[in-house]
Amino acid sequence: MTFTREIDHGTPPAIAGGKSVSVTIDGQTVSMPEGTSIMRAASLLGGAIPKLCATDNVESFGSCRLCLVEVEGRNGYPASCTTPVAEGMVVRTQTERLKKLHRGVMELYISDHPLDCLTCAANGDCELQDQAGAVGLRDVRYGYDGATNMGQAKDVSNPYFDFDPSKCIVCSRCVRACEEVQGTFALTIQGSGFGSKVAASQNDDFLSSECVSCGACVQACPTASLIEKKVVEIGKPERAVVTTCAYCGVGCTFRAEMRGEEVVRMVPWKEGKANRGHSCVKGRFAWGYAQHQDRILNPMIRVSVDQPWREVSWEEAIAHTAAEFQRIQASYGARSVGGITSSRCTNEETFLVQKLIRQGFGNNNVDTCARVCHSPTGYGLKTTFGTSAGTQDFDSVQFSDVILVIGANPTDGHPVFASRMKKRLRECARLIVIDPRRTDLVKSAHIQADHHLPLRPGTNVAMLTAIAHVIVTEGLCDEAFIRERCDWDEYQDWAEFVSQRERSPEAIEALTGVAPEDVRAAARLFATGGNGAIYYGLGVTEHSQGSSTVMAIANLAMATGNIGREGVGVNPLRGQNNVQGACDMGSFPHEFSGYRHVSDAATRQLFERAWGVALDSEPGLRIPNMLDAATDGTFKALFVQGEDILQSDPNTHHVAAGLAAMECVVVQDLFLNETANYAHVFLPGSTFLEKDGTFTNAERRIQRVRKVMEPLNGYGDWEIVQLVANAMGLDWNYAHPSQIMDEISALTPTFAGVNYEALEAQGSLQWPVDASAPEGTPTMHLDGFARGRGKFVVTDYVPTDEKTGPRFPLLLTTGRILSHYNVGAQTRRTGNVAWHPEDLLEVHPSDAENRGIKDGDWVLLRSRAGETTLRAKVTERVAPGVVYTTFHHPTTQANVITTDFSDWATNCPEYKVTAVQVGLSNGPSDWQEHYEAQAKQSRRIETVVAAE
Amino acid sequence: MMSNQEQLVYMVNQIARNFATMGQDEAAAATADHLVSFWDPRMKTQILAQYASDRSGLSPIAADAIAHLRDHLIPSGQTPATVFNAVNEAGHSDAG
C-alpha cells in the first residue's frame, strides 16, 4: 500500500445549513456551500492551490501570501484561503502573473531556510519542499549572505518532539493549532518582521512551558521545524492503519503510521467522529509501553506467591489454569470462582471472558472496573431514562448554551473532549463548575466559569437538590416537556420534595460551604440559559450516594427539558477506553449483554440456546463481595484480565487479604502489576496494536481496533481466553474477532445491526443499532425515553458515614492528571514520566501553615484505614479543609488510605471522601517499605541455566 | 474494620436509608427488590441468617425488607424499584 497523507483542504468547511453558490474554478463550474473558501473549493475539485499557512483544522490566516488567485472582475490577487466563494464567481489559479507571484513568495521563504533536504527528517514529507516544486522554483536570486534565522539552537526538551527554529517559516500554524484546536494558548509569535519567531509560554523550552504536548502543533507544522523524534530516528512511514486509542473514554481514532511492523507515529484521523483529528499526549505519543522492557511475553506459573515465577509453555499454563479452576469448583462449589473483565480490552474479548464465566464456570461471578467508577451511572440512568449510558455524542457540545460540569476535570481526564468544550465556551457558551477544587476549567486561557460552586466533598446530592429547589420554586421548569415525556405524578412528588425549605440553598449553606446566592444564580442560568448540557465524572459517582447523584442530575435535565436533542443531555465522561463496552458486554454480575437481568427468563433462554448450557439465574458477586467471600473462605479462584485491583480498588489491606486467601489467582496482563504479586498464573496479554476488535467510547460509539503488528506474546487476548475455554471443554472455534461480534450482535438487541462490514462502511456506529436505527443513534431519547416515560426519583441527601473529627480533620479527594492514565501501568512506561514523576498531595496554604508544611516536604497522610507518605504541594486550588492527590504511582499506595464506604446501590467505592490527617514525615510509611520489599520479592522470575 | 457480616448489615441499612422517603412499606419493598436483583445467593443467605439470629442492628425498613426477602425469595424479571425494559428477540430495543 502506498503511504499517503490525508488530504488537507486548506480551510475548514463552511458552517452547515447555508445555501449553495455556483463558482467556476479554472473552467470547472461547481456548486459549493456559501462560506467555503476558494482554496477549499479548488481542493475539493481535485486541484491544489499552493499554500503554506493554511491547514484545514484551523481558521484561515492569510499570512504566507502563497495562495493568491485571480478573481474575474476584482482588482489585485486575493488570498484564496481568506476569500469565500460567491455566486457566479470565476477564479483562475494559474496565470503568468500568478506564477511569478508564487515563485517570488517561495524564493523569499527559501532564501532563509536550510537546504539540507536530503538529510532532513521531513524529506519526502515536507510541504515547503512540495510547494517549491509545485510553483516551479529553480533558483534563489537573493543568495544566502546577510542576516539569517538559520543556525538557531534546537529545543529537544520534550520527550516526543523537537523544535528547530532554523526550519521555521513562521506560518503560525502551530500557534493557531494550540489556540483553536487544543485551547491551551501556549505558543505565540514573539517579535516582528524578520525577527519573528515561535515562542512557548514566556520563551521557555517546550517541556517547561504551558505546552501540554498534545502534538497539534507538530501535526500542523509544514516543515521539519516541529517534528516527532520517532520520525527523526526511524524515517518516513510507508503505510497507515486506522485504529482506536487504548487510553480514555474519548476514543480518539488514529492513523498508526508504520514502517514494517514498527510504529513511526500516531496521527489523529481526521474522519474520527469522536476526536475530529485531535489527540492528547497519551494517545499520540505514549504508545511505547508495548515494547517496554518490563513487558512479560512468556506465561508463568508458581505454586505459591512467595515463590519466584517459573516460565512455562502456553500449553502448560493453559492446562494448569483450567485444571485449577475445575479442582477448586469440585472442592468448594460452583460459585467459588469468578473473574474480572478488562475495560481496556476489546468488546469481543470482554464478551468472551463473561462467556467463559457464565458458560464455563456456570455462575455469574463476573465484574469489571466500572464497579469502581461509573456503576452508579448504569444504575441511575437505567432507573430514570431506561439506558445505562450517556445521551449525546461529543459533537453535541457545539450546540450547548450552558454547560454544567460536575465532579469532572475534563482538561486532565478527557482532554480532547475538553478542547472541544473549551472551543464552544470561547464562542459563547456559559459555564457552571461544581467541584471542590479549582480545576483548569474554572479559569484558564480565555475560559472562565460563570459560576464555580466549590462544595465540600460528599455534598453533591444536597447541592443538586438545592439547584432543583430554585428551579421548581421560581417556576423555571419546562412543564410542557415534563407533561409530554415524563411521569407527571412522580414529577409532582419530586417537585414537592425539592421545594421544601430544608432543601433550599440557604438551608444547606453550612453543609456545602457554598454561598446560597451563587447556587441560585447557577440554577437560574442552567434553567434559562438555552440548551443546557450536564457533563459529569467520578466526582459524582465515587461517593456513598453516587447513584443518587446521577439520578439527581437526570431529574434536573428532565425538569428543564434538556433531553432529546443536540446541545443538551446527560453526559457521563466514561473513563477507560472500553469501560462502556465492558458494561455493554455483560460484565456486571446481574446482567447479560445489553443490560438484561440474569433473572429474565426470556433473555436467559436466548443465551442458553446459543451456548448449549443452563445458566445461573441468580446475580453473582461484585468485586468487593468477591474479596469479602474470599476472606470468608468461600471464594477461592479469580481470573483477572487487564485489571489491577490491588492498586486501583479501595482499602488495599482488604484487597490484599482477599487475594491472599484465594488458591488460584490468574492475571492476564502486559506487566507484572500489583495484583500479580498475589497471582499463581500469569498469562501475558497483548496491546491494542496487536489485535483486531472494537472499543466503545463514552458516546456509545463502537469503533474498530486494527492490528498493526503481530502480538509479541504470541496471542491476542481473545485467543488466550479461547484457549482456556477449550481446555475447560467448551469447544469454541472463533477464527477472528468479527465472528465474536456476530455472536454479540445476534444475542444483543442494541447491537443487532453491528458487524465489521457496517463498521467499515460507516467508520463507527453508536448503539442502539437496530432495524429502527441502522446507522446508529447519536442522540438518545429523541421522541421518548427508552423506558417509556422519564422517571423522577426523589433523592434525599444522606450524609456519608465517613466523618471528619479531631483525629482526622481534613477530607481527601482524588483525581487524575493529563500525562498519566489511571494506575499508570502504561504511561509510567513511556516518556510521560517527564511530567508527574510522583503523586503529590495538594494542601491549602492555611492547612499547610498550621502543620508546618512547605512545598515539597514529605508528609504522612493518615486515615482510619491506613497511612502513606508522599510529597506536598501547597496550592490554593484546593479549599481549606480539603486535600487532593492522584494515584498514578504504585509507590504512593493511595488506596491504603481509602475506606470501605461505597455507593448504596452499586458498591462503587467512595474514593472522593476520606477523612485524613496530614503531618510532616521523615520517610516512607512502614506499609510502603514492607510493600516494596514484598513486591520485589514477588516479581522474581526463575532463571533456568541451560544444561551443558 | 467491619466483619463481613457487619458489612452486610451496614449495606442493607444503607440501602434502606436511601429509600426511606418512600415511606416504610414502599421502602421495605424497594429494599427487598434491590437485594433480590443485586445480591448473590451467599449474601442473601447470610443476611437471612443474621435476621434470624439477631436483628437488633437492622433498621426497621431493613428488617422489613429482609422479611420480604425471606417470604418471596424467587426473583422476578420486572421489579418496582429497578424497572427493566421489555426485551424480545424480534429486535425491540432494550437500549440500556
pLDDT score of A944: 66
Q: What percent of chain A has pLDDT above 90?
A: 87
pLDDT tens for A588-607 read 999 999 999 999 999 999 99
Shortest alpha-carbon distance between residue A322 and chain B (Å)? 24
pLDDT score of A348: 98
Least confident of A77-86, A459-468, A534-543, B77-86: B77-86
CB contact under 8 A, A548 and B89: no
Chain B residue closest to A598 (CA)? B77
Taking contacts as CB-CB distances below 8 angstroms, the residues of chain A near B96 are 381-382, 385-389, 595, 786-787
Taking contacts as CB-CB distances below 8 angstroms, the residues of chain B near A772 are 93
pLDDT tens for A259-269 read 999 999 999 99
Shortest alpha-carbon distance between residue A498 and chain B (Å)? 12
Distances (CA, A) of A641 to A463, A665, A673, A871, A940: 38, 11, 12, 33, 21
pLDDT tens for A635-676 read 999 999 999 999 889 888 899 999 999 999 999 999 999 999
Q: A768 preceded by cis ω (within 30°)?
A: yes
Q: How many residues does chain A have?
A: 948
Shortest alpha-carbon distance between residue A589 and chain B (Å)? 8
Shortest alpha-carbon distance between residue A787 and chain B (Å)? 6
Question: Which helix (H) or strand (E) element contains residue A594?
Answer: none
Helix H, strand E, coil C: the string for A599-649 is: CCHHHHHHHHHHHCCCCCCCCCCCHHHHHHHHHHCCCCEEEEECCCHHHHC
pLDDT tens for A835-846 read 888 889 999 999
Strands (E), A208-336: 226-228, 239-244, 253-259, 262-268, 300-301, 310-311
pLDDT tens for B56-69 read 999 999 999 999 99
Instruction: Output the nine-digit C-alpha cell for B84.
Output: 427493566
CB contact under 8 A, B84 and A597: yes
Mean pLDDT calculated for residue range A498-502:
97
Instruction: Output the nine-digit C-alpha cell for A647.
Output: 492498586
- Average pLDDT score, chain A: 94
Q: What percent of chain A has pLDDT above 70?
A: 99
CB contact under 8 A, A599 and B76: yes
Shortest alpha-carbon distance between residue B55 and chain A (Å)? 20
> How far apart, in whole angstroms, are the C-alpha atoms of residue A524 and residue A470?
7
pLDDT score of A93: 96
Taking contacts as CB-CB distances below 8 angstroms, the residues of chain B near A497 are 21
Number of alpha carbons in the 13 Å side-chain half-sphere of residue A570 = 30
Residue in A361, A625, A903 to test binding to B, most B beta-carbons within 10 Å: A625
Q: Is the pLDDT of residue B93 over 60?
A: no
Residue in A595, A765, A793, A795 to test binding to B, most B beta-carbons within 10 Å: A595
Mean pLDDT calculated for residue range A862-889:
92
Shortest alpha-carbon distance between residue A342 and chain B (Å)? 20
**Helix residue ranges per DSSP H, A684-801:** 717-727, 737-747, 756-762
CB atoms within 10 A of CB A34: 15
pLDDT score of A948: 57
Yes or no: say if A714 and A726 are a contact pair by the CB < 8 Å rule. no
Quick one: A319 exposed, middle or buried, by C-beta within 10 A (0-12, 13-18, 19+)?
middle
pLDDT score of B2: 80
B94: nearest CB among A497, A750, A796: A750
pLDDT tens for A410-465 read 999 999 999 999 999 999 999 999 999 999 999 998 999 999 999 999 999 999 99
Q: Is the pLDDT of residue A786 over 70?
A: yes
pLDDT score of B81: 37
Backbone angles phi, psi at A24, to 5 degrees: -115, 125
> How far apart, in whole angstroms, are the C-alpha atoms of residue A743 and residue A752?
10
Q: Is the pLDDT of residue B77 over 50?
A: no
CB contact under 8 A, A606 and B89: yes
pLDDT range class, residue B73, cuts 50, 70, 90: low
* Chain centroid to CA A643: 17
CB contact under 8 A, B95 and A780: yes
Instruction: Output the nine-digit C-alpha cell for A366.
Output: 463476573
Q: Is the pLDDT of residue B88 over 80?
A: no
Residue in A377, A388, A555, A596 to test binding to B, most B beta-carbons within 10 Å: A596
Shortest alpha-carbon distance between residue B3 and chain A (Å)? 9
Shortest alpha-carbon distance between residue A905 and chain B (Å)? 7
Taking contacts as CB-CB distances below 8 angstroms, the residues of chain A near B15 are 904-905
CB contact under 8 A, B96 and A787: yes
pLDDT score of A947: 63
CB atoms within 10 A of CB A356: 23
Taking contacts as CB-CB distances below 8 angstroms, the residues of chain A near B1 are 654, 865, 900
pLDDT score of A900: 86
Question: Which has more pLDDT, A544 or A890?
Answer: A544
pLDDT score of B64: 96
Taking contacts as CB-CB distances below 8 angstroms, the residues of chain B near A621 are 40, 42
| Numbered residues of chain B with Cβ closer than 8 Å to any chain A Cβ | 1-2, 4, 7, 11, 14-15, 17-18, 20-22, 34, 36-43, 75-77, 81-85, 87-89, 91-96
CB contact under 8 A, B96 and A381: yes
Mean pLDDT calculated for residue range B24-37:
95
Taking contacts as CB-CB distances below 8 angstroms, the residues of chain A near B50 are none
pLDDT tens for A787-844 read 999 999 999 999 999 999 999 999 999 888 888 887 788 888 898 888 888 889 999 9
Beta strand A430-434 with A451-453: parallel, antiparallel or unpaired? parallel
The ipTM, to two decimals, is 0.89
Shortest alpha-carbon distance between residue A654 and chain B (Å)? 10
CB contact under 8 A, A618 and B82: no
Taking contacts as CB-CB distances below 8 angstroms, the residues of chain A near B41 are 335, 618
pLDDT score of A175: 98
**pTM (2 d.p.):** 0.93
CB contact under 8 A, A749 and B94: yes
pLDDT score of A388: 87
pLDDT score of A570: 97
Shortest alpha-carbon distance between residue A593 and chain B (Å)? 10
Quick one: A241 exposed, middle or buried, by C-beta within 10 A (0-12, 13-18, 19+)?
middle
Residue in B3, B10, B13, B14 to test binding to A, most A beta-carbons within 10 Å: B14
CB contact under 8 A, A335 and B88: no
CB atoms within 10 A of CB A675: 23
pLDDT tens for A265-320 read 999 999 999 999 999 999 999 999 988 999 999 999 999 999 999 999 999 999 99
Chain B residue closest to A379 (CA)? B82
Mean pLDDT calculated for residue range A918-931:
86
Interface size between A and B, measured as CB pairs under 8 A: 127
CB contact under 8 A, B95 and A545: no
Yes or no: say if A434 and A442 are a contact pair by the CB < 8 Å rule. no
Q: Is the pLDDT of residue A171 over 80?
A: yes
Chain B residue closest to A493 (CA)? B22
Q: What DSSP character marks residue A395?
A: G
pLDDT score of A923: 81
Chain B residue closest to A746 (CA)? B89
Tell me the three state secondary structure of residue A678: helix
Q: Is the pLDDT of residue A892 over 90?
A: no
Please name the residue that has the C-alpha cell 500525562: A819
Distances (CA, A) of A612 to A333, A485, A569, A601, A719: 21, 42, 41, 15, 21
